[in-house]
Amino acid sequence: MPTEILMPALSPTMEEGTLAKWLVKEGDNVSSGDLLAEIETDKATMEFEAVDEGVVGKILIAEGTEGVKVNTPIAVLLEDGESADDIDASTEPKKGDADSHAEPATPKAETSPAKGYGDDAGAAQQAKGGDAAPASSGASGDRVFASPLARRIAADKGLDLSQIKGSGPNGRIVKADVESAKPGQKPAAAEAEKAPAAQADKADKAPVAAPAAPGVQAEQIRKMYADREFEEVKLDGMRRTIAARLTEAKQTIPHFYLRRDIKLDALLKFRSQLNKQLEARGVKLSVNDFIIKASALALQAVPDANAVWAGDRVLKLKPSDVAVAVAIEGGLFTPVLRDAESRSLSSLSSQMKDLAKRARDKKLAPHEYQGGSFAISNLGMFGIDNFDAVINPPHGAILAVGAGVKKPVVNDAGEIEVATVMSVTLSVDHRVIDGALGAELLKQIAEALENPMMMLA
Nearest CA to 237 among 19, 5, 4, 2? Answer: 19
- Distance CA(36)–CA(45), nearest Å, equals 13
Contacts of 113 (CB under 8 A, 6+ apart): 3, 4, 5, 6, 71, 73, 107, 119, 121, 134, 135
- Distance CA(356)–CA(334), nearest Å, equals 9
Contacts of 14 (CB under 8 A, 6+ apart): 41, 42, 70
Q: Exposed, middle or buried by CB within 10 Å (0-12, 13-18, 19+), for 360?
A: middle
The helix/strand/coil state of 37 is strand
Residue type, 201: D
DSSP-derived secondary structure letter, 149 = H
Q: Catalytic annotation on 101? A: no
Contacts of 375 (CB under 8 A, 6+ apart): 322, 323, 324, 325, 334, 389, 391, 392, 395, 397, 398, 399
Q: Exposed, middle or buried by CB within 10 Å (0-12, 13-18, 19+), for 242?
A: middle
Catalytic residue among 101, 367, 395, 430: 430
Active site residues: 430
